[in-house]
Amino acid sequence: MASIEITDLVKTFHDRAGRPTRVLDGIDLTISGETFVSVVGPSGSGKTTLLNIVSGIESLTSGSVRLRAGDRDAHVGYVFQDPRLLPWRTVMQNIGFVQRDRSGWEERAHHYLDLVGLAELGDRFPAQLSGGQQQRIGIARAFSVEPDVLLMDEPFSHLDAMTSRSLREHLERIWLESRRTVMFVTHDVTEAVQLSDRIVVLAPGGRIHEIIDVDLPRPRRASDQAVAALQAEVLARFEVLEAV
């Protein structure tokens, strides 16, 4: 069983004059098992900084972060805001590039391409794909390395509403099959409610304001009455937080 264990995490940046700004302030959070957790919050609440520290892209000031899978370090996958495909490589070559010589990757690649509805595009180059198709390739690539933990940084933020809705459905379908431990950063409450088992709300200053359990049956659609009702409730809390 994979887990993300964040204990008393603090991150401080300094400006050119050496003045400190604390962007994460004592974060305590554990994400474990077959769970999908979204992190939301107003601009400047430290969402992406938190994800970058968990991934190892940024260092922490104090506290600790541990990513484990049983008695070993967890194998981590990452989905970025943009798909970051190499333009001179085909879809299959892009997926193969991150495999580190792991056997059977072609079969896994075809499997996840099929799940995102792009099984026939393995020989295409990124320039021949739409933005939504490229992001689906990025999701398939991340799952194909069979990570214990999957980190996702606003992967649908640059896409139009219809494409984002379609990709949420693809992502939920893949997650229901794979059941990875997921930490998903988003500014979109609709995404958080539709995809998550728990929603972590960060407040300005980088503190956990509240954690909301999402106990709704899957699969979910944004148009489902229960999803829409919870979305309205979370959005109302979010708006109060933004107004503080």
Of 150, 143, 157, the residue nearest 81 (C-alpha): 157
The contacts of residue 54 (CB under 8 Å, 6+ apart) are 4, 6, 65, 67, 151, 183
DSSP conformational letter for 74 = P
The contacts of residue 70 (CB under 8 Å, 6+ apart) are 1
Question: What is the number of other CB atoms lying within 10 angstroms of the CB of residue 22?
Answer: 15
- Extract the tokens encoding 145: 């390395």
- Extract the tokens encoding 22: 């604390």
Q: In the chain, where are the structural domains located?
A: 2-75+147-243
Higher pLDDT, 96 or 103: 96
CA separation for the pair 149, 66 (Å, rounded): 11
pLDDT band at 114 (very low <50, low <70, confident <90, very high): confident
Average pLDDT over residues 70-93: 86
Angle 161-178/105-115 helices, nearest 10 degrees? 130
Averaged pLDDT score across all residues of the chain: 88
**pTM of this prediction exceeds 0.85:** yes
pLDDT in tens, 133-151: 888 888 888 888 888 999 9
Average pLDDT over residues 47-75: 93
Residue 102 pLDDT: 67
Q: Topology of 2-75+147-243 in CATH?
A: Rossmann fold (3.40.50)
Of 209, 207, 199, 185, the residue nearest 11 (C-alpha): 207
CA separation for the pair 79, 172 (Å, rounded): 14
